[in-house]
């Protein structure tokens, strides 16, 4: 059975990539900007689930696993990771009396039918509905657009609309350019609105947080109205949300200079922000 403590098994089960990068290094490479990552950081700290989606045309090195691992650094302090065992998963961790779902992220290497070490069908449906029990999920999938992500979850895997709306953040990444080496970019970042529209209860509206602009290789960001809604959805006062976001932007801008801070330096920077907030927040 899969042992996540063994580095070789983590690599075999596709939980680790050949080249581990910190989020600061990914920013330094131009794949994404500090504003996008700072917002994701803040949302993940408040328990939002996460899907990293890559192209349906399998391309080695697109970076789903690298991106997912880098984002895990932003999970709340004290978070427990439950590693899924693909089609062999029996969800025994949910029956541990002492487990705290609110402090647990269930990590799946990929939701797809490509390999038995991934999840699909009934097993995937149970995994993706863990948020109903209070757990959070983090996974990767093959999907080209946010609409493809929603279609896979809602139609292919037959999740109810309310279950899809609990899945939080969706980052679509891809390779861009027409010459080698192609560039990696975070094409879109969306938040799945958790609240149902009373007039259209089966709608699954994706809220755009960041969109890559191919014309000038820049990123367009959510407006203030969306940020205000996000604060409400994660349970933060709007007066706290804005300065918290700015602290993370400043941190990321500093540590992504040059080639970017490595993973250890990244953890230290994250901890510094959190320790600072403990002294200024009631």
Q: What is the pLDDT of residue 261?
A: 96
Tens of pLDDT along 151-173? 999 999 999 999 999 999 999 99
Is 59 a residue whose pLDDT tops 80? no
My answer on whether omega of the bond before 181 falls inside 30° of 0, hence cis, is yes
Residue ranges covered by each domain of the chain: 7-22+49-236
How large a percentage of the chain has pLDDT more than 70?
A: 96
185: part of which helix (H) or strand (E)? strand 183-192
Torsion of CA 44, 91, 64, 39, to 10 degrees: -10
- The better pLDDT of the pair 198, 118 is held by 118
Q: What is the pLDDT of residue 275?
A: 93
Q: What is the pLDDT of residue 160?
A: 96
Residue 5 has φ and ψ, to the nearest 5°, of -80, -15
The answer to whether 149 and 187 have CB atoms below 8 angstroms apart is no
Residue 263 has φ and ψ, to the nearest 5°, of -60, -40
Give me the residue label for tokens 């139609």.
155
pLDDT-based confidence at 179, cuts 50/70/90?
Answer: low
- The better pLDDT of the pair 209, 7 is held by 209
CATH class of 7-22+49-236: alpha beta
The answer to whether 143 and 52 have CB atoms below 8 angstroms apart is no
Tens of pLDDT along 107-142? 999 999 988 999 999 999 999 999 999 999 999 999
Name the pairing type of β-strands 80-83 and 183-192. unpaired
pLDDT-based confidence at 281, cuts 50/70/90?
Answer: low
User: For 16-40, what is the mean pLDDT?
Assistant: 94
pLDDT-based confidence at 51, cuts 50/70/90?
Answer: very high
Report d(CA 217, CA 187) in Å as an integer: 10
How large a percentage of the chain has pLDDT more than 90?
A: 77
Name the pairing type of β-strands 183-192 and 169-176. antiparallel
**pLDDT, the chain, mean:** 93
Tens of pLDDT along 244-256? 999 999 999 999 9
The answer to whether 203 and 195 have CB atoms below 8 angstroms apart is no
User: For 8-37, what is the mean pLDDT?
Assistant: 92
User: For 20-40, what is the mean pLDDT?
Assistant: 96
Q: What is the pLDDT of residue 58?
A: 62
Is 63 a residue whose pLDDT tops 90? no
pLDDT-based confidence at 61, cuts 50/70/90?
Answer: low
Tens of pLDDT along 92-103? 999 999 999 999
pLDDT-based confidence at 196, cuts 50/70/90?
Answer: confident
Residue 37 has φ and ψ, to the nearest 5°, of -70, -40
User: For 198-220, what is the mean pLDDT?
Assistant: 93
Q: What is the pLDDT of residue 282?
A: 63
């Amino acid at each position: 059975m899969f042992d996540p403590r063994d580095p070789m098994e983590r690599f075999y089960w596709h939980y680790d990539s050949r080249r581990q990068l910190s989020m600061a290094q990914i920013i330094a490479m131009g794949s994404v900007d500090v504003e996008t990552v700072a917002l994701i950081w803040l949302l993940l700290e408040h328990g939002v689930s996460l899907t990293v989606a890559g192209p349906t045309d399998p391309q080695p090195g697109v970076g789903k696993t690298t991106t997912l691992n880098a984002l895990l650094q932003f999970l709340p302090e004290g978070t427990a990771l439950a590693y899924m065992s693909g089609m062999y998963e029996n969800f025994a961790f949910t029956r541990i009396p002492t487990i705290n779902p609110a402090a647990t992220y269930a990590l799946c290497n990929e939701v797809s039918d490509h390999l038995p070490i991934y999840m699909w069908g009934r097993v995937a449906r149970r995994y993706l509905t863990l948020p109903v029990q209070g757990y959070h999920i983090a996974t990767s999938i093959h999907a080209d657009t946010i609409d493809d992500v929603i279609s896979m979850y809602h139609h292919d895997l037959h999740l109810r609309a309310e279950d899809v709306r609990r899945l939080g953040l969706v980052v679509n990444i891809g390779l861009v350019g027409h010459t080698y080496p192609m560039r990696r970019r975070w094409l879109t970042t969306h938040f799945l609105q958790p609240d149902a529209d009373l007039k259209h209860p089966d709608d699954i509206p994706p809220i755009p947080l960041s969109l890559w602009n191919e014309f000038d290789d820049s990123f367009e960001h959510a407006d203030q109205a969306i940020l205000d809604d996000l604060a409400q959805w994660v349970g933060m006062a709007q007066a706290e949300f804005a300065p918290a976001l700015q602290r993370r932007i400043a941190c990321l801008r500093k540590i992504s200079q040059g080639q970017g801070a490595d993973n250890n330096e990244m953890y230290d920077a994250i901890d510094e922000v959190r320790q600072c907030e403990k002294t200024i927040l009631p």
